[in-house]
Structure 1
């Protein structure tokens, strides 16, 4: 069996089990946040971002658990399915990463084609914000004919990109609000957290929990910037009205990948406006704010102790490819050599409590003489419980056991089930 056949079930099982636990983790975080009462958008964003990283780390936690404490799974699937799943996973991840790379190239192109706006032509208050609110990163204001919405581009040298058609229409107050909002993105390092968010989504594109958290983070990121604008704006109603009118002007124009735009979807804009108008209301917290963080840590700590929900194996494939087996019932000592005199025949004895389809093939031994007595080789057999391999010349008293007789196909060197004996 090649490395791919070993790796695919291993990776697929981790992804499946982590996906199930990830959904439960999202539910725990959601309930914890609901019980925590009204929290700031910055706090909710931080919790959901840590939750996203936790969901991404779950496959590695399951890998450690499976190595240190293997357990029986609730559902066993054919290993061939795992190979298909991992192949599709690799293709989807490659497409997602290429899309991110294309977005980065697009941002670089936008910056190189943009035209700078001289600081002297900006209002004094706006120029002061650019100089003082960017931290150690210098921030420029650029205009471009290739964009339809204001946005922040750049990771090391960020810039606020304004549509060329929009610049003449902006009043000093509107320009000041736009700069405040986009500078909030820069101060929060949203460009980097958004990149991490998109990479995780590209790798775990099949994970519904990742998609849900991604949407939540996108909304909470904008709300957190709204909170920072409101901290420097005297009127929440005026800011909410500005967002609505600005959205109507732009008609929800699309933005390239990996940018944070001032306007968003209509549904998200409605939630943002509601949050802005209720920002002055006191929070009514019934449970301390750290409840969500505590729930997250508890869930991560319990993940390695959870059972294996899904596993992949060869048994269903073997059962499908083999000819129908003969069934013989007996209460006496059974002489294996009386049934199949072939020298290469091997007999596997498995506890009768096993369900059909759980038998694993044993590769034929080469350059080894047969022995007249049973030999215990449980440590060498790929099974979850001890097995016995009995060679054909042996007498075996197998009361309450099921004996599966296998022979070796010399053309393919693969084992083929001949029949099953229920003793």
Structure 2
């Protein structure tokens, strides 16, 4: 498969995820509503599954398309999308317009992904440099190690005190480290800071930092879809509640953690988006949950995702019906390769041949591939003058074509063209 075909397939996968992401988000929302009074671990699993599906669905489509022509078509039909070439000559055909601009779509997507990767790499480098350079606190390191042992962590947990940091941050899963703001060490009561550290140990116990990095990968690749960011935010919200429950169990007093979170809220610390911190999520909601756990009643607004899901399926069904009709018409089409005359320039008459009064007709045979690009070409009948033959070759290379169709599918085909050189 050519690079251009790969780019076209990737472009269609990215475009089709617009509706696929909506379907996944609606299903995830309904499951979260149904589990509103369940343990946060259940909602966390559902949200993680939804985010994983956001990546797996388009990845499976792309793999099926790149597997080969026949497998690609079967996979495309199964997942409700089409990758066949659409005749660009049809007026008002938005599919043809998208097909013509998939290269630009993929280029823009690639640039944004590269920028987001650079941002994430910068954050990881900052964490690594901070862990190496910042000092530790022997007293708090001993407290954290004792807490980790009581919580059943079978590994050492390092502690670093950082000057310019908003709130405690957990980094690493193989050799975990907790970054603690120097202002908290100096100004927060020790028993409240211990509650925040217990929360961080909950993240380490569950390897949340690693999961968060995997979330960042999905967010980077599918950054353009709001559903991805909404599901990812729900994962972080449920993750914070799980860590809160972990800390409350090992502290034996939920009010202690609630007081610590209240102190963070009072000091108005800002959060970080790279690693899991003790102030992630809605602090007030977390404090209320710790102090007054209660069941949630069903809200009529929960029906909105159901309506959205129904509309998404209805729109997809209508689009697929229209697509099937278009493909049915295309399958019956068998045409020759046609030149896009708007892209073809008239060859320049060589000045030497004009001066010499040369005239003639050159017949060129050329190969048009499935994307409409001229590959190989040869002179079948010369005009008798090499300079005029070469000028005709040069004009042909600049011309684009609509590929030949056999039963609606673009095929590679040899065709011919004549250039008539006459002096008026």
Identify whether the pair has TM-score above 0.5, normalized to the shorter chain: yes
Which one of the candidate residues 269, 276, 280 is aligned to 2:290? 276
Report the 3-state secondary structure (helix = DSSP H, G, I; strand = E; otherwise coil) of the residue aligned with 2:95: strand
Which one of the candidate residues 271, 277, 283 is aligned to 1:261? 277
1:243 aligns with 2:256: no
1:31 aligns with 2:30: yes
Please state how far the C-alpha of 1:116 moved relative to its aligned partner: 1.6
1:68 aligns with 2:60: no
- For residues 69 and 57 of structure 1, do their structure 2 counterparts lie closer, same or farther at Cα, with a shift above 3 Å needed? closer
* Counterpart in the other structure of 1:349: none
Question: After the TM superposition, which residues 18-417 of structure 1 pair with which residues of structure 2 at under 5 Å, given as runs?
Answer: 18-63=17-62, 64=64, 66-71=72-77, 73=82, 76-78=95-97, 79-119=99-139, 127-133=145-151, 135-249=153-267, 251-255=268-272, 257-264=273-280, 268-279=282-293, 281=294, 321=342, 381-382=404-405, 385=408, 408=417
Please state how far the C-alpha of 1:107 moved relative to its aligned partner: 0.2
Task: Work out the CA distance in 1 between the residues paired with 2:362 and 2:225.
Answer: 51
Q: Give ranges in structure 2 of 5+ residues lacking alignment.
A: 66-71, 83-92, 299-315, 328-334, 345-360, 381-402
Alpha-carbon deviations, 1:285-315, whole Å to 9, x = none?
Answer: 9xxxxxxxxxxxxxxxxx9xx959999x9x9
Please state how far the C-alpha of 1:209 moved relative to its aligned partner: 1.6
Please state how far the C-alpha of 1:151 moved relative to its aligned partner: 1.4
Report the 3-state secondary structure (helix = DSSP H, G, I; strand = E; otherwise coil) of the residue aligned with 1:142: strand
RMSD of equivalent CA atoms: 4.2
Please state how far the C-alpha of 1:260 moved relative to its aligned partner: 1.4
- For residues 155 and 308 of structure 1, do their structure 2 counterparts lie closer, same or farther at Cα, with a shift above 3 Å needed? farther
Contact 1:184 1:225 in 2 (8 A): yes
Contact 1:17 1:309 in 2 (8 A): no
Alpha-carbon deviations, 1:35-79, whole Å to 9, x = none?
Answer: 244122222122211211111111122232644254475961333
Q: Comparing 132-141 with 211-220, which one deviates more in the overlay?
A: 132-141
Please state how far the C-alpha of 1:205 moved relative to its aligned partner: 1.2
Report the 3-state secondary structure (helix = DSSP H, G, I; strand = E; otherwise coil) of the residue aligned with 2:96: strand
Contact 1:138 1:157 in 2 (8 A): yes
* Counterpart in the other structure of 2:308: none
TM-score with structure 2 length normalisation? 0.65
Report the 3-state secondary structure (helix = DSSP H, G, I; strand = E; otherwise coil) of the residue aligned with 2:6: helix
Task: Work out the CA distance in 1 between the residues paired with 2:223 and 2:251.
Answer: 39
Contact 1:16 1:310 in 2 (8 A): no
Contact 1:76 1:310 in 2 (8 A): no
Task: Work out the CA distance in 1 between the residues paired with 2:412 and 2:186.
Answer: 85
Task: Work out the CA distance in 1 between the residues paired with 2:409 and 2:6.
Answer: 24
- For residues 361 and 168 of structure 1, do their structure 2 counterparts lie closer, same or farther at Cα, with a shift above 3 Å needed? closer
Please state how far the C-alpha of 1:245 moved relative to its aligned partner: 2.2
Task: Work out the CA distance in 2 between the residues paired with 1:270 and 1:5.
Answer: 52
Contact 2:135 2:161 in 1 (8 A): yes
Please state how far the C-alpha of 1:365 moved relative to its aligned partner: 9.4
- For residues 310 and 20 of structure 1, do their structure 2 counterparts lie closer, same or farther at Cα, with a shift above 3 Å needed? farther
Higher relative contact order (CA 8 A, sep 6+): 1
Instruction: Give the structure with the larger helix fraction.
Output: 2
* Counterpart in the other structure of 1:333: none
